[in-house]
Amino acid sequence: MLSNNIFKVGQIVEGYKIDNLIGRGGMSELFLAHDIVLGKKVVIKVLKEPYSENEYFKKQFLTEARIQANLDNPHIVQIFRIFTYQKKISLVLQYIDGTNLARVIKRAKELREKEGKKGALSLERGVHIFLQMLDGIGYAHRYRIIHKDIKPSNILLDKQGLVRVVDFGLSFHLPKGNIKKEKKDEVIAGTPYYMSPEQILNKKVDFRSDIYSLGITFFYMLTGCFPSGPNKDPDSILRFHLEGSLDYPQRILEEHKEIIPRIREAILKAIEKDPDNRHQSCLEFSLAIKGEKLDEMYSELLRRALSKKGIITLTERSYLDKIAPKKGLSLKDAMVLETNIRKEMGLPPLDFALEYKMAFLDLLKKKRHENSIFLDELDNTYVRKGRLTKTEARLIREKVQLARTEK
C-alpha cells in the first residue's frame, strides 16, 4: 500500500514508472521504479515531510546528490539525476540487485549461533568485502569527501558480491588547508555505534573519522558484536568511543582464533581514540590488512599521486614527506624511489623547480599567496627540506608573478 506516500504504484513521474516502496529511512523514502526510456530499474529517493520543508535538510539532501554524482567508482552507488515533484526533492539512484551488509552479517551470525559458534562473517569473506569498502571510501577521500555515516546498512552487495557504498547524506567536502568543524547551529548526526570520538564531541574531523567508523564496522563484520560491549544504552556506547579502553575489543578479537594477529592489529589501530594513532588513509588500512611492507605502502601512495598528471601537488608532497620517515625512508631514499618509479611509469624526471612553480601558481589562483600558513608549508616542503635554495625559490616566485602581470 502506497496511499500515504508521495508516489503511487503505476504512476509515471519524470519518465519513471513507480513499482513499489522498498524502504523508509529517518528522512527519506525509497521507491523502486522503471526508467521508461532506457528500460532499466532505478531507485528514487525522496526527502519526506517535515524534512522536505526544512531548508537545512533540503540543502543537505542536495549536497548528497552533488557529492555522490561526481564520484565515479565501481564501489560507490551512482546518482543519475535529480528532480522536484510536489516541492519534494527526489534523487534517481542506480539500482543494486542484492542486499545490504547489515543483513549479510545478521544471517552469518545466525548460522554461526546454530552451530554453537561465535562470530559472523568468515575471515576470508569479511576481508574480501572490506577491501572493496576501503577502495570506495578511499576514492571519495581522494576527492576530499568524508562520508561520516559508514555502517553496514549503508554498504550494498549485489548478487556477484560486488560492494557499493551508498548514502552520502551526512558527507561533506573538506576544503584544502582546513579541517571540518560543525557550526553551532548545525545538526550533529551519525549512528552511535560507529561514530568517531571527534564526531561525537563536535570537534574537527577529517578522513580519519571515517577510518574509525570503518574499523568499528570491520570489527562487527568478523565478531558479530561491537567493541563497546553488549550494552545497548546510547550513553554507554558514546562513552566507550570517548573514554573506553581497547582491552575489551582486543580480548574479543583474540577469542576469535580465525582472526589472525595482522588483522587484529589493523582493526585495533583503526579504532584508536587519537586520530594521529590510526591508519592515516584507507590505502594504509588496506595494506595493513594485506600485510604489505611499509616501503611498498609509500610506493603505492606515490604511484597514485603521479598517475593523475605526473606531478606532485604541494598537499601530496607534504603528506609523502610526513609518512616517509614512518616507513623507514630518508629523504634521499624517497628521492631514489621516486626517480625509479617515474622511469617505470614513463614520466619526466624529478623537477622540484617545476613542482614549486606549479604549487605557487595554485596558491596565486586561489588567492592564498599572501597567507602565511600556505607560504610556510611551501617553504618548509621545498626550501627547508633542501629541494631548493631560498634564492631559487624567490626567483621562481618573482618570474611567476611577473608573467601574470604581463598578461
In this structure, whether the domain defined by 98-290 belongs to CATH 1.10.510.10 is answered with yes
Average pLDDT over residues 115-127: 94
Delimit the domains of the chain by residue range. Answer: 12-94, 98-290, 294-345, 352-406
- The residue ranking higher by pLDDT, 156 or 24, is 156
Q: Which of 7-21, 53-67, 214-228 has the lowest mean pLDDT?
A: 53-67
Q: Which of 135, 149, 167, 210 is catalytic?
A: 149
C-alpha cell at 405: 602581470
**% residues pLDDT > 70 (the chain):** 91
Mean pLDDT of all residues in 363-382: 84
383-387 mean pLDDT:
92
User: Known catalytic residue: 185?
Assistant: no
- Name the grid cell of 85: 515533484
Q: What is the pLDDT of residues 296-340, one digit of tens each?
A: 667 777 887 787 677 888 888 888 888 788 777 888 888 888 888
Q: How far apart are alpha carbons 401 and 59 in whole angstroms?
A: 39
More confident residue, 378 or 61: 378
Cβ contacts of residue 317 below 8 Å, gap of 6+?
A: 355, 359, 381
Cα dist from 136 to 41, 276, 281, whole Å: 23, 22, 12
Tell me the angle at which helices 261-270 and 207-223 cross, rounded to the nearest 10 degrees. 140
3-class secondary-structure state, position 283: helix
Residue 270's pLDDT is 96
Q: Which residues contact 209 (CB under 8 A, 6 or more apart)?
A: 146, 148, 196, 198, 199, 275
| Nine-digit cell string for 165 | 557504498
**Residue 383: closest CA among 402, 396, 370, 368:** 396
Q: Identify the weakest region by mean pLDDT among 21-25, 51-55, 296-300.
A: 296-300
Instruction: Tell me what pLDDT residue 234 has.
Output: 87
Tell me the pLDDT tens digit for each residue of 275-284: 989 988 898 8
pLDDT at 186 over 60: no
Nearest C-alpha neighbor of 282 from the set 217, 368, 377, 202 = 217
Average pLDDT, the chain: 86
The reported pTM is 0.71
**pLDDT the model gives residue 185:** 39
| CA end-to-end distance (rounded Å), the chain | 66
Q: Burial of 338 by CB count in 10 Å (0-12 exposed, 13-18 middle, 19+ buried)?
A: buried
As a whole number, mean pLDDT of residues 210-229 equals: 96
The alpha carbon of residue 33 and the mean position of all alpha carbons in its chain are separated, in whole angstroms, by 29
Per the CB < 8 A criterion, the answer to whether 252 and 243 are in contact is no
- Inter-residue contact 321 to 381 (CB < 8 Å): yes
Given this model, what pLDDT does residue 183 score? Answer: 43
The position carrying cell 611492507 is 293
Calpha distance 236→226 (Å, rounded): 12
As given in the structure block, the three cell numbers for residue 55 are 531548508
Type and span of the H or E element at 91: strand 88-94
Residues whose CB falls within 8 Å of the CB of residue 3, separated by 6 or more in sequence, listed in order: none
Residue 362 pLDDT greater than 80, yes or no: yes
Q: Identify the pLDDT of residue 295.
A: 60
Cell of 371: 597567507
pLDDT tens sequence across 55-104: 888 887 887 778 777 788 899 998 899 898 888 888 899 999 999 999 99
DSSP H/E element including 217? helix 207-223
CATH of 12-94, one of 3.30.70.1520, 3.30.200.20, 3.40.50.300, 2.60.40.10: 3.30.200.20
Rounded to whole angstroms, the Cα distance separating 352 from 111 reads 58
Asked if residue 357 has pLDDT above 80, the reply is: yes
The amino acid at residue 277 is N
Summarize pLDDT for 255-277 with one digit per residue, the tens: 999 999 999 999 999 999 999 89
CA-CA distances (angstroms) from residue 152 to 58, 106, 177, 219, 262? 25, 10, 31, 11, 23
Contact 276, 310 (CB under 8 A): no
What confidence score (pLDDT) does residue 177 get?
A: 46
| 83 touches 7 (CB < 8 A) | no
Least confident of 62-71, 163-172, 191-200: 163-172
Residue given cell 523508509 in the structure block: 24
Answer for the pair 249, 271: CB distance below 8 angstroms, yes or no.
Answer: yes
Retrieve residue 76's grid coordinates. Answer: 560507490
